[in-house]
Amino acid sequence: MGVLDGIRVLDLTNVLSGPFCTLHLALLGAEVVKVENPKAGDLARVLGNVPAYNKQLMGTSFLAQNANKKSLTLNLKAPAGKELFRRLVAGADVVVENFRPDVMPRLGLGYEALAEINPRLVYCGISGFGKDGPDAAKPAYDQIIQGLSGEMDVNGDERLHPLRAGFPVCDTVGGLNAAFAIMAALFHRERTGRGQAIDVALLDSIMPLMGWVAANLLIGGKGPVPMGNDNFTAAPSGVFRTGDGFINIAANKQEQWEAVTEVLELPELKSDPRFQERDERKKNRKALTPLLEAKLAERPTAHWVEALNAKDVPSGAILSLAEALSQPQVEHRRTLTSVRVDDEIGEVKLFNMTAKLSDSPGAITAPPPKLGQHTDEVLGGLGLSAAEIADLRAQGVV
């Protein structure tokens, strides 16, 4: 039994932040019904690096976020479509959308209207800036939020700054924030019997992830200094050259620093006044790094990883994405699972639920749906006959 077995989610979201949220609800056992426009559905259906999949409206971007979900096509601008959606809301537990804040109220389907139908409804709206405030109506994609949040200001170095993260971190974090809030609201409903509205802004969601960096400014009065692959909190902590590539070393504690000097056979650095204390090492990291790299260059990365880890100094190779996804620890954890989509696409690898629940683990049980694949099933559940559904199709409502 999944944690969310028996919970029905109406998912009106597109592309990433919303689908990433509802994916986690689906992995935990919720029945997630994607409510998609009849013409093309979720925009992610045509996003990805395999053109043939995009033409099938099953782009790689869509496949990645939509396992375990059902697809219902419904034109929410048509009166009949709105009425069907209201009927679905009456039996739903959660509605999730990531439109601009004014879209659902203009359709007559905002939280207040839907709560009159179903007071137990948990309604979550995800947007770039939240439902109100001076920027609420502005459009926003992940990169825009990366820039406005200060996230790009903490990346890069003196040569390349500002610098965006290499994946849509604001969208994914916003989706996780929304999933967390929905779970909290469902727990609150168990206690009170009442649903509520949730307002998630991508801008709000990403900022707390910069906790230490932001605290140095908010509390310590010092803004970020772009340091590239170095860790501003300690030294040596960052990326270093080895005999055959690079290594990450994070000697954040004094005893770890001393262990580094022993493993690298550089005991003289331990008593060097430039490097004796943590704060002094941070000030003199540019002098320290070449001394360490001269020794690291004598052996390959694998040697140093093993030797440093044996002395409790966190270290690791820097893998390509392909290497990272196939490493033994990831395979052991079953982070990825193979799912058969159809005869044309075949099997694809997708991410499992990464939090391991002992009694009710999440899992992928169904592939991402074709557009409208479950329309007849969902509408049939409302009592509509095959003839009525065919008539709705003829009208372009589904």
Q: How many domains does the chain have?
A: 2
pLDDT exceeds 90 at position 74 = yes
How would you class 147 by CB atoms within 10 Å of its CB: exposed for 0-12, middle for 13-18, buried for 19 or more? middle
Asked if residue 322 belongs to a domain, the reply is no
Is the domain of 204 the same as that of 279?
no
How high does pLDDT run on average in the chain?
Answer: 96
pLDDT at 233: 87
Give 312-352 pLDDT, tens digit per residue.
999 999 999 999 999 999 999 999 999 999 999 999 999 99
pTM: 0.94
Is the domain of 311 the same as that of 343?
no
Which of 260, 285, 317 is a domain's end point? 317
**Pairing verdict, β 8-11 and 94-97:** parallel
Which of 266, 290, 317 is a domain's end point? 317
Is the domain of 269 the same as that of 192?
no
pLDDT exceeds 90 at position 1 = no
Is the domain of 62 the same as that of 140?
yes
Is the domain of 18 the same as that of 41?
yes
| Phi, then psi, of 172 in degrees rounded to 5 | -70, -40
Cβ pair 126, 12 in contact under 8 A: no
Is the domain of 166 the same as that of 61?
yes
**Preceding peptide of 224 cis, ω within 30°:** no
| Residue 171 annotated in active site | yes
Asked if residue 385 belongs to a domain, the reply is yes
Is the domain of 36 the same as that of 136?
yes
Count the Cβ atoms, other than its own, within 10 Å of residue 359. 6
Average pLDDT, integer, range 188-193: 98
Domain region containing 296? 246-317
Nearest in space to 10 (alpha carbons), one of 91, 82, 96, 77: 96
Is the domain of 110 the same as that of 252?
no
Asked if residue 216 belongs to a domain, the reply is no
Cβ pair 228, 162 in contact under 8 A: no
Asked if residue 297 belongs to a domain, the reply is yes
Give 76-110 pLDDT, tens digit per residue.
999 999 999 999 999 999 999 999 999 999 999 99
Q: Which CATH number fits the domain that encloses residue 380?
A: 3.40.50.10540
Q: Which CATH number fits the domain that encloses residue 259?
A: 3.30.1540.10
pLDDT at 255: 97
Asked if residue 213 belongs to a domain, the reply is no
> How far are the Cα atoms of 24, 44, 45 from residue 51, in angstroms, in the given order?
27, 13, 11
Is the domain of 37 the same as that of 176?
yes
The residue annotated as part of the active site, out of 11, 42, 171, 230, is: 171
Is the domain of 272 the same as that of 377?
no
Is the domain of 134 the same as that of 60?
yes
pLDDT band at 53 (very low <50, low <70, confident <90, very high): very high
